[in-house]
């Protein structure tokens, strides 16, 4: 998780809270309170807070406050100049990762679509074999006293074997399709939980 950025407002607010609760007002304490920042950034801002005046004490002169705010703004600008390349690199890395994940998802979808098409073709073939079996049974009944009976019985057995083979293949493909869909759903949920694009910090008011 990305640590918080030390801004003039966040440092001043943290210093006010620490001072109000009677805790030691140190750079490390302010960094811990904010949840981020460095000593080189927080130190000057904390000094500016001290120059501004603690709660309950008469505010410092207007000119001094203006200089303190200018100093805080300059520190913020310098920190942002240093952070912008890192933010840009993080964004680019995140974009590349998303593109790679999108490619994996698209390939998984293509496999699912291909398997669904295979299942539909097998359903059609199975239905055709069932119709052929029904026709052979009708011919067998009509030719029970005919020499074609043996050939019809052989054809019927072959048709039944083909029906059974198609049924087994259909069941296998259906199971593989269900497994692929489950894996794709798990991958999608994991991406939604883990993929969060880094965003730049807001400029203090």
Out of 29-38, 60-69, 135-144, 159-168, the most confident range is 29-38
Q: Are residues 132 and 162 in the same domain?
A: yes
Q: Please give the average per-residue pLDDT across 175-186, as a whole number.
A: 83
The encoded tokens of residue 72 equal 């805080």
Q: Which of the listed residues 55, 70, 94 is the one where a domain comes to its end?
A: 94
Mean pLDDT, the chain, whole residue set: 79
- Name which residue leads in pLDDT, 35 or 126: 35
Percent of the chain with pLDDT over 70: 84
pLDDT tens, position by position, 120-133: 887 788 788 888 88
Q: Which of the listed residues 52, 78, 94 is the one where a domain comes to its end?
A: 94
Q: Which class for 31: exposed (0-12), middle (13-18), buried (19 or more C-beta within 10 A)?
A: buried
The encoded tokens of residue 30 equal 């302010």
Q: What is the pTM of this model?
A: 0.34
Note the pLDDT of residue 183. Answer: 83
| Measured CA angle at 59 (ends 15, 47), to 5 deg | 40
Q: Are residues 37 and 23 in the same domain?
A: yes
Q: Which of the listed residues 94, 126, 155 is the one where a domain comes to its end?
A: 94
Residue from 24, 45, 49 nearest 36 by CA: 45
The encoded tokens of residue 77 equal 């600008």
Q: Which residues pair with 4 in a beta bridge?
A: 36
Q: 123 in a domain, yes or no?
A: yes
Helix (H) or strand (E) holding 81: helix 62-142
Q: Are residues 108 and 185 in the same domain?
A: yes
How far apart CA 54 and CA 57 sit, in angstroms, is 6
Q: Are residues 67 and 46 in the same domain?
A: yes
Q: 200 in a domain, yes or no?
A: no
What is the domain extent for residue 104? 97-194
Q: Are residues 14 and 89 in the same domain?
A: yes
Note the pLDDT of residue 28. Answer: 92
Q: Are residues 78 and 127 in the same domain?
A: no
Note the pLDDT of residue 3. Answer: 66
């Amino acid at each position: 998780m990305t640590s918080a950025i030390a801004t003039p407002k966040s440092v001043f607010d943290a210093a006010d809270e620490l001072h109000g609760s009677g805790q030691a007002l140190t750079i490390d304490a302010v960094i811990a309170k904010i949840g981020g920042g460095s000593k080189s950034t927080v130190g000057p801002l904390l000094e500016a807070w001290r120059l501004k005046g603690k709660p309950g004490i008469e505010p410092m002169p207007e000119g001094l406050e203006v200089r303190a705010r200018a100093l805080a703004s300059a520190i913020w600008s310098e920190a942002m100049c240093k952070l912008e390349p890192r933010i840009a690199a993080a964004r680019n890395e995140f974009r590349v990762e998303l593109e790679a994940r999108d490619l994996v998802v698209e390939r998984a979808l293509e496999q699912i679509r291909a398997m669904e098409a295979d299942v539909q073709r097998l359903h059609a073939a199975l239905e055709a074999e069932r119709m052929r079996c029904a026709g052979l049974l009708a011919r067998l009944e009509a030719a029970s006293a005919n020499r074609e009976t043996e050939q019809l019985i052989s054809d019927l057995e072959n048709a039944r074997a083909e029906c059974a083979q198609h049924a087994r293949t259909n069941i296998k493909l259906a199971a593989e399709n269900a497994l692929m869909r489950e894996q794709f759903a798990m991958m999608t949920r994991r991406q939604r939980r883990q993929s969060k694009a880094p965003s730049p910090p807001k400029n203090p008011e």
